[in-house]
Amino acid sequence: MTTGALPHTGAPPVLAVRGLTTRLKTRAGEVTVVDGLDFTVHAGETLAIVGESGSGKSMTALSLMRLLPEAVAFNAGGSALLNGRDLLAVSEREMRGLRGADISMIFQEPMTSLNPVMRIGRQLEEVFEEHKPELSRAQRRARAADLLKLVRIPDPERVLDELPHRLSGGMRQRVMIAMALACDPKLLIADEPTTALDATVQAQILDLLRALQAELGLAIVLITHNLGVVAENAHRVLVMYAGRKVEEAPVAELFAAPRHPYTRGLLRALPNPDAADAGPRVPLMEIPGIVPALSALPKGCAFGPRCPVALPACAETRPELRPVGRGSAACLLVTPAEALA
């Protein structure tokens, strides 16, 4: 368990995102998949972006990496300053230089991100060829082996000569992490990095990410749908619903006192074997209905139609984020007074 306290509060953030807005072109017209998102991540800090499918969490990651195909999606506003440089404004060429060097990303399915017919060592060396052309061949190979050691792969020399399919899912994800860290990035975006893995292997990979963060002072944006992963790995949490931030808070505060009804619903929808005794089975809290289509969002609060405590006003007014406690929440029912309580 991590705590909300951070050693870096005074330093400027590694990444400062303001008003990030991404629109997607669909046959039914354009829809806003990420709507005015603000957040910051500091060195050594993990910010979790949590949400269900369609919440816009993965779109956020792809927008920051500028990996969305131009024919399908475009940036419709906002800035993302990585050490002072706006990721959304730099040229495509500059962005290529930044990707893999200053900002890296790992994905859910490592097998699809690795070239199946190229040896692991070769794929790692390619990253150096791209970003550190001054290294000699032997140096590249030595660096590649060091990287595998860094991600705790036993017998790195042997693994360098393996093809990806010979490795287990967990090992492949370690290789992906090694590739992502090859050029000492400041920021790592991890998009559902353990969703495809088994529970025991997921735990190993998350342990590794925490350890690497402590060693390297990485800033991590952890995108996940799994609240358990959030609780055990993040410092701060940002909850997304229908493309918008609905709540942000330090992790301990979010889990102890969730402010937004959607966050509360998510937490209570999970079975909690730690709290359960052998007694009667209490029904899980349901969030009624389904996530609305982005093309047909209600006028007021997007969560309003599913919200158990919605007021008539919620159908009319779209709630703005307002500070509460040490975070913020976008709900008309959240008042600053509650923060004091």
Binding mask 106-145 toward another protein (x if CB under 8 A, else -) reads ----------------------------------------
Find the binder of another protein among 14, 41, 230, 314 (CB under 8 A). Answer: 230
Binding mask 167-196 toward another protein (x if CB under 8 A, else -) reads -xxxx-------------------------
Please report, as a single letter, which amino acid is at residue 235: H
In whole angstroms, what is the distance from residue 172 CA to residue 261 CA? Answer: 38
Residue 152 burial (CB count, 10 A): 15
**Residue 87 vs 302, nearer CB to another protein:** 302
**What SS3 class is residue 104?**
strand
The radius of gyration of the chain from alpha carbons, rounded to an integer in Å, stands at 21
Binding positions for another protein, 6-25, rule CB under 8 A: none
Nearest to 219 by CA among 258, 188, 192: 188
**Residue 62 vs 227, nearer CB to another protein:** 227
Taking the complex as a whole, the smallest distance from the CB of residue 227 to another protein amounts, in Å, to 4
Q: Which residues of 261-270 are buried (b: 16+ CB within 10 A; e: fewer)?
A: bbbbbbeeee
| 179 phi, psi to nearest 5 deg | -65, -40
| Segment interacting with another protein (CB under 8 A) among 75-83, 98-106, 126-134, 197-205 | 197-205
In whole angstroms, what is the distance from residue 122 CA to residue 181 CA? Answer: 16
Taking the complex as a whole, the smallest distance from the CB of residue 286 to another protein amounts, in Å, to 5
Taking the complex as a whole, the smallest distance from the CB of residue 255 to another protein amounts, in Å, to 6
Binding mask 235-254 toward another protein (x if CB under 8 A, else -) reads -----------------x--
**Residue 162 vs 232, nearer CB to another protein:** 232
In whole angstroms, what is the distance from residue 24 CA to residue 168 CA? Answer: 35
In whole angstroms, what is the distance from residue 305 CA to residue 213 CA? Answer: 40
DSSP 79-93: EEEETTEETTTS-HH
Find the binder of another protein among 101, 183, 203, 257 (CB under 8 A). Answer: 203
Find the binder of another protein among 8, 18, 40, 52 (CB under 8 A). Answer: 52
Return the structure tokens found at 138. Answer: 């032997």
Binding residues vs another protein (CB under 8 A): 1-3, 5, 26-28, 44, 52-53, 152, 154, 168-171, 198-204, 206-208, 210-211, 213-214, 225-233, 252, 255-256, 265-267, 269-288, 290-291
